[in-house]
Amino acid sequence: IEAGKLRVVAEDFAVADVIQAIGLILLPQAKAKRLDYRVKVADGVPPRVRGDVGHLRQILLNL
């Protein structure tokens, strides 16, 4: 980012699908730690958006 070399790839995607997929990736870790883990997409989130789905996945995994 600092070097100005961040490449953004804008595409249409379903937000709920991305969030649910990340949830499935993180679920085994949560179960191993005996955590109550749930994923819910808020009602106001639009079904499709335009943006960089790869960067969104990376951000969600880093939370």
pTM: 0.78
How much is the pLDDT for 2? 64
- The domain spans of the chain are 11-62
How much is the pLDDT for 62? 93
Give the per-residue SS3 of the chain.
CCCCCCCCCCEEEEHHHHHHHHHHHHHHHHHHCCCCCCCCCCCCCCCEEEECHHHHHHHHHHC
Summarised one tens digit per residue, pLDDT across range 46-60 is 999 999 999 999 999
How much is the pLDDT for 17? 96
Summarised one tens digit per residue, pLDDT across range 3-43 is 677 888 999 999 999 999 999 999 999 999 999 999 999 99
How much is the pLDDT for 1? 58
